[in-house]
Amino acid sequence: MKELKPGEPIPYHKNLGISEAEYAAFIQFSQSVKIEAVGKFVENYNDKQYHE
């Protein structure tokens, strides 16, 4: 794991509990997913309701 570069998927290993075909499908899917911000949200935990 230490040899992996940021964003590089972990190699298949039988201890993952899935088949090599399932792993390949997961990797293919995970590389097609894009995450982008759609807005900003700020939480304020200083409100009295959180300090009872």
Q: Write out the H or E segment, with its range, that includes residue 20.
A: helix 20-32
Tell me the Ramachandran region of residue 41: left when phi exceeds 0, alpha when psi lies from -120 to 50, beta otherwise: beta
pLDDT of residue 50: 59
Exposure on the CB side of residue 35, measured as CA atoms within 13 A: 2
Query: What letter does residue 33 receive in the DSSP assignment?
Result: -
| Pair 12, 21: CB distance under 8 Å | no
3 state DSSP class of 19 = coil
**What is the reported pTM?**
0.59
Please name the helix (run of DSSP H) or strand (run of DSSP E) that holds residue 21, with its range, or none.
helix 20-32
Q: What is the pLDDT of residues 8-24, one digit of tens each?
A: 999 999 999 999 999 99
Q: Has residue 52 got a pLDDT over 80?
A: no
